[in-house]
C-alpha cells in the first residue's frame, strides 16, 4: 500500500528564516509526486509535479526536490503570506489514477 509521511507536522519560522519540509514516500512505481498548498477554509492549490529522482522545480521562494525515497520543499526567506498547510501526494503506476496524500505540514511565518 502506498504511504506518504510528512514532517514536521507543524513549523513556525521567523520571516526570512529559510527551512525545508520533508515528504517520505513508499509507492509501487512512482508516476508523479505532487506538492500542494492549502489555505484555511480553501481547497488545495497545485504547486509542483516531480517525476523522477534528481528533478527540481522552483516557484518564487519555493523549491521542490525529489529523491527515490523522499521529497523536500525548500522555503527560502519566507514571508508571512507563505503561511499555509503544504500537502505532498504521490501517484502510482497502477491501473487507475490513485493519488495518496500526506497529512501535511502546517507552516506559520511570523513577521
Partner 1 sequence: NAGVTQTPKFRVLKTGQSMTLLCAQDMNHEYMYWYRQDPGMGLRLIHYSVGEGTTAKGEVPDGYNVSRLKKQNFLLGLESAAPSQTSVYFCASSYPRTSGNEQFFGPGTRLTVL
- Nearest CA to 106 out of 90, 92, 87 is that of 87
- Footprint of partner 1 on 43-62 (CB under 8 A): 43-46, 49, 51
Q: Which is nearer to partner 1, 1 or 60 (CB)?
A: 1
Q: Is 107 in the site for partner 1 (CB under 8 A)?
A: no
Distances (CA, A) of 95 to 19, 35, 40, 50, 51: 37, 22, 33, 20, 18
Output the smallest distance, CB 74 to partner 1, in A: 20
Distances (CA, A) of 47 to 2, 35, 54, 64, 95: 21, 5, 18, 9, 25
Question: Residue 31 has which C-alpha cell?
Answer: 508516476
Q: Is 10 in the site for partner 1 (CB under 8 A)?
A: no
Which of 91, 105, 107, 109: binder of partner 1 (CB under 8 A)? 91
Output the smallest distance, CB 42 to partner 1, in A: 6
Q: Is 98 in the site for partner 1 (CB under 8 A)?
A: yes
Q: Is 78 in the site for partner 1 (CB under 8 A)?
A: no
Amino acid at each position: 500500500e502506498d504511504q506518504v509521511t510528512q514532517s514536521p507536522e507543524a513549523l513556525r519560522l521567523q520571516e526570512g528564516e529559510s527551512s525545508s519540509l520533508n515528504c517520505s514516500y513508499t509507492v509501487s512505481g512512482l508516476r508523479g509526486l505532487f506538492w500542494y498548498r492549502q489555505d484555511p477554509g480553501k481547497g488545495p492549490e497545485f504547486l509542483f509535479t516531480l517525476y523522477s529522482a534528481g528533478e527540481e522545480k522552483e516557484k518564487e521562494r519555493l523549491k521542490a526536490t525529489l529523491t527515490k525515497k523522499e521529497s523536500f520543499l525548500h522555503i527560502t526567506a519566507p514571508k508571512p503570506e507563505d503561511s499555509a498547510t503544504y500537502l505532498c501526494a504521490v501517484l502510482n503506476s497502477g491501473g487507475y489514477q490513485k493519488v495518496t496524500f500526506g497529512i501535511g505540514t502546517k507552516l506559520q511565518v511570523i513577521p
